[in-house]
């Protein structure tokens, strides 16, 4: 199953024999809570999922958005109607980061059939509703390990032995600015690969061939071990999704820069990509 789905494909499947469970994961870094946007209007049938409370654990030494406890995550997915044998489609406001986080978590937790609505709510052409659905509880039970995961030491090692991509904006990679974390810069050896360059102006992913060419230019090749990190494991999931579209499997360093930079013993590199 491909990792993204178009609006027209979703509309067709939603009236078929096995309609997908639809999750609304609207979220903005530092912005107002996404629930208000959901209540103001959402795609019919969509269930709201709270990224901060249900797709992440409490912030701390593991970063701003550490992985949630599998039992907490599983309970949230079951409440939303997710079962192991039912397809799932996830969308957000259009940036794609939050939807990709939900996609990554479900795949990591063992769900075989989850896709991101390409372009998110901005691509939706149908009516919206304010009616909150009451889904039948699902049976999904997380079985972590479905996608590769890195810790800080493994990310550091991969930057030397393979390819570690930094999905943040280039100015944060260089350390020119750091609006959130303790210090600016990047993990030594990491390559700058802003995830914003994986999508068109409308937020839809670039074609697989275009993405493949981009990643090849960054050093991705068959047999290369690839890892991704970002600020807190959200936009990094978006880059993992883009790599999946291009035909490459990548590991996510979920703690990302928010975890790495909080540990003063870890080295920090600054400046432009040395390649």
The catalytic site residues sit at: 230
Give the pairing type, strands 226-229 and 47-48.
Answer: unpaired
Q: Residues 221, 248: contact at Cβ < 8 Å?
A: no
> Which alpha helices (H) appear in the chain, and where do they start and end?
7-14, 34-40, 51-54, 70-79, 97-108, 152-161, 170-174, 208-217, 235-245, 256-260
CA distances 139 to 71, 162, 221, Å, are: 12, 38, 38
CA distance 178 to 164: 20
**DSSP 3-state assignment of 143?**
coil
CA distances 85 to 9, 19, 70, 81, 122, Å, are: 19, 11, 18, 11, 28
> Which alpha helices (H) appear in 116-198, and where do they start and end?
152-161, 170-174
Eight-state DSSP code of residue 228: E
Half-sphere exposure of 189 toward its Cβ, with a 13 Å CA cutoff? Answer: 15
Q: Could you give phi then psi for residue 62, rounded to 5 degrees?
A: -85, 5
Q: Residues 2, 114: contact at Cβ < 8 Å?
A: no
For residue 197, give every residue at least 6 positions away whose Cβ sits within 8 Å of its Cβ, in sequence order, or none.
214
Eight-state DSSP code of residue 60: B
Which residue is listed with tokens 């230019």?
Answer: 217
């Amino acid at each position: 199953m491909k990792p993204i789905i178009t609006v027209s494909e979703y509309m067709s499947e939603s009236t078929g024999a096995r309609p997908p469970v639809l999750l609304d994961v609207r979220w903005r870094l530092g912005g107002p809570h996404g629930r208000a946007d959901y209540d103001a209007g959402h795609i019919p049938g969509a269930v709201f999922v709270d990224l901060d409370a249900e797709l992440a654990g409490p912030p701390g030494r593991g970063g701003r958005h550490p992985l949630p406890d599998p039992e907490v995550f599983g309970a949230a997915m079951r409440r939303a109607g997710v079962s192991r044998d039912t397809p799932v489609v996830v969308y957000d406001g259009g940036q794609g980061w939050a939807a990709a986080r939900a996609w990554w978590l479900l795949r990591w937790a063992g769900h075989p059939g989850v896709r991101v609505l390409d372009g998110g709510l901005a691509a939706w052409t149908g009516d919206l509703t304010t009616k909150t659905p009451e889904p039948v509880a699902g049976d999904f039970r997380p079985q972590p390990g479905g996608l590769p995961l890195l810790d800080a030491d493994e990310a550091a090692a991969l930057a030397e032995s393979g390819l570690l991509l930094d999905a943040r904006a280039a100015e944060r990679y260089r350390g020119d600015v750091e609006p959130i974390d303790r210090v600016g810069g990047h993990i030594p050896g990491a390559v700058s690969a802003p995830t914003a360059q994986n999508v068109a102006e409308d937020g839809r992913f670039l074609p697989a061939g275009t993405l493949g060419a981009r990643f090849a230019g960054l050093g991705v090749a068959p047999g290369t071990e690839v890892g991704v990190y970002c600020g807190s494991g959200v936009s990094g999931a978006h880059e993992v999704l883009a790599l999946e579209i291009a035909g490459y499997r990548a590991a996510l360093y979920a703690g990302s820069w928010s975890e790495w930079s909080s540990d003063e013993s870890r080295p920090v590199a600054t400046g432009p990509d040395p390649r």
